[in-house]
Structure 1
Amino acid sequence: MRTHKPARPGKPKSPLRATNIDKHGIPVSAVTHKLQKLLAQKGLGSRREMEALIASGQVIINGRKAVLGDRVGAQDRVQIGKRIIRFDFAERLPRILLYHKPEGEIVSRLDPENRPTVFDKLPHLRSSKWIAIGRLDFNTSGLLIFTTDGALANRFMHPRFEVEREYAVRIIGKLSDEHITQLTTGIQLEDGIVSFDQLIEQGGENVNHWYRVILKEGKNREIRRMFEALGITVSRLIRVRFGPVNLPARIKRGKWLELDEKETRRLLTLLA
């Protein structure tokens, strides 16, 4: 991993295969890809957002409006409005950052209250944008993953993949056996029944006690709301793992690390 350095404008160096033949021996010019996947990989948004963009008629292929299901290759001209979108059909790895979010930052580019945003801390990109893989609320700290690949972000976030999220939770008081049973079998919230896949006591002192919890979805303020439903206050909440990615101890709050080529390939293999 590369350690955090002050962000500098500039074109990122990404590993490329300098070839016009793909890994199956087929000329790149003959290969086509799903349009929404390419747009997401370009960093223009999530795959779902790109599908909506195509459905709205804003994407043009070779002078005609694109439709869902279209595929494009190196010979095709793709536009969004008047902007021409250029794709690199040789293999290019996505960029992936791990960020240690402190409390007091939002995971959004714009905020009516003008609160600090995590995006202000990230390195500058010229031709794409950082996509946050999941969110953490204003008062939650811990691991955030950012990428330039919308398809990769979708692989982490879509409910059908059931990617685990692990949190360290500090509460005021201590859970009873009945509380633990409720939290692991199901709590009724306004948006449905939710439960932890695992809940492990981590000890504590005085009135504070720590627990590790694991769940496979990411509803808004879900963990806090589960404890609140039992009349229990969460005083600290830290995400320590998202899928196969742990929060490295050496990343200080408000700092980031970028995965190198080897680490990126390993992560993509684990998610395949």
Structure 2
Amino acid sequence: MNDLGKQLERLQKVIARSGIASRRHAEKLIIDGLVKVNGQVVTELGTKVKDTDLIEVEGRKIFPSEKKRFVYYLLNKPEGVITSASDPERRMTVIDLVRSKVKERIFPVGRLDFDTRGLLLLTNDGELTYRLTHPSYQVEKTYRVILNGFISDQALNKLKDGLILKDGLTSPAKILQVKRIKKGDCLSIVEITIHEGKNRQVRRMFEAVGYPIFYLERIAFGPLRIDNKLKPGEFRPLNTAEVKALKREVGLV
């Protein structure tokens, strides 16, 4: 292969590396006709570009050879906040929580439901975001769940075996810890690990076995655990070791 061939990269990967959008969002922008290469609209996801090409994404210019300073933050997301960069209903988003202190254009890695709290990553590293959220990499997410009543062993076994939900069969979950507490009302605290990311999946899994959730918190994502020093709504940058561990998780180092 000649030197020119070695420089070719997929368009969506270049856009993601620039920090303008995650790779999945970059693919949507291309399909929607919002990306130009050397002045021409491109809608084919397989398009490859050279270092010398000029790319425009919704009017913003980037170059394939441009080096981007990536930033990585761990947010303790509170309940009642949207996991999005913006919201048409003008509700508070996770980006609103960090906007005054972070100058880079960052985006959330995956989603946490409106009424779920806990660990959420924010970054402008599109390639890492793509890999951490793509099903093929099977990145594990661990949640702490609180339920009314004492959950049965039969229900736990169903979770561990996999359940049929309306959007298909879930992969087997790992049950890390179960506490049954008699303190006034009977409560169960369960720590559960999954690697999928279907909409409201954990809540729907517990509803399917007869135990609706009234408290849900994500406490781990891949190699990272929630920082107990962070109050809901607070965030901090990841250290070098944490970033490296995330990249190792998805084969980037």
User: What TM-score does the superposition give when structure 1 sets the normalisation length?
Assistant: 0.79
In the alignment, the residues of structure 1 paired with residue 187 and residue 198 of structure 2 have an alpha-carbon distance, to the nearest angstrom, of: 25
Question: Is 56-65 or 31-40 further displaced after alignment?
Answer: 56-65
SS in 2 for 1:237: strand
1:234 to 205, 209, 213: 213
In the alignment, the residues of structure 1 paired with residue 139 and residue 58 of structure 2 have an alpha-carbon distance, to the nearest angstrom, of: 35
1:163 to 130, 139, 160: 139
> Aligned pair 1:137/2:113, yes or no?
yes
In the alignment, the residues of structure 1 paired with residue 89 and residue 13 of structure 2 have an alpha-carbon distance, to the nearest angstrom, of: 34
Could you tell me whether the CA contact under 8 Å between 1:93 and 1:264 is conserved in 2?
A: no
In the alignment, the residues of structure 2 paired with residue 56 and residue 87 of structure 1 have an alpha-carbon distance, to the nearest angstrom, of: 21
Could you tell me whether the CA contact under 8 Å between 2:176 and 2:193 is conserved in 1?
A: no
In the alignment, the residues of structure 2 paired with residue 80 and residue 104 of structure 1 have an alpha-carbon distance, to the nearest angstrom, of: 32
- Go from structure 1 to structure 2 and tell me whether the alpha carbon gap of 1:230 and 1:131 turns closer, same or farther (over 3 Å shift): same
- Go from structure 1 to structure 2 and tell me whether the alpha carbon gap of 1:253 and 1:88 turns closer, same or farther (over 3 Å shift): farther
Residue deviations 1:3-36, cap 9 Å, x none?
xxxxxxxxxxxxxxxxxxxxxxxx99x8343221
In the alignment, the residues of structure 2 paired with residue 215 and residue 238 of structure 1 have an alpha-carbon distance, to the nearest angstrom, of: 13
In the alignment, the residues of structure 2 paired with residue 216 and residue 171 of structure 1 have an alpha-carbon distance, to the nearest angstrom, of: 21
* Residue of structure 2 equivalent to 1:84: 61
Question: Is 205-214 or 30-39 further displaced after alignment?
Answer: 30-39
> Displacement of 1:84 after TM fit?
2.3
> Aligned pair 1:271/2:247, yes or no?
no
SS in 2 for 1:108: coil
> Aligned pair 1:55/2:31, yes or no?
yes
In the alignment, the residues of structure 1 paired with residue 83 and residue 57 of structure 2 have an alpha-carbon distance, to the nearest angstrom, of: 26
SS in 2 for 1:240: strand
2:222 alignment partner AA: G
Paired residue total: 243
1:155 alignment partner AA: R
* Residue of structure 1 equivalent to 2:204: 225
TM alignment of 1:2-151, pairs within 5 A: 31-66=7-42, 67-90=44-67, 92-111=68-87, 113-123=89-99, 129-151=105-127
> Aligned pair 1:252/2:231, yes or no?
yes
Relative contact order, higher structure (CA 8 A, sep 6+): 1
1:212 to 186, 191, 212: 191
SS in 2 for 1:120: helix
Please provide the CA RMSD for this pair: 2.5
SS in 2 for 1:214: strand
> Displacement of 1:120 after TM fit?
0.8
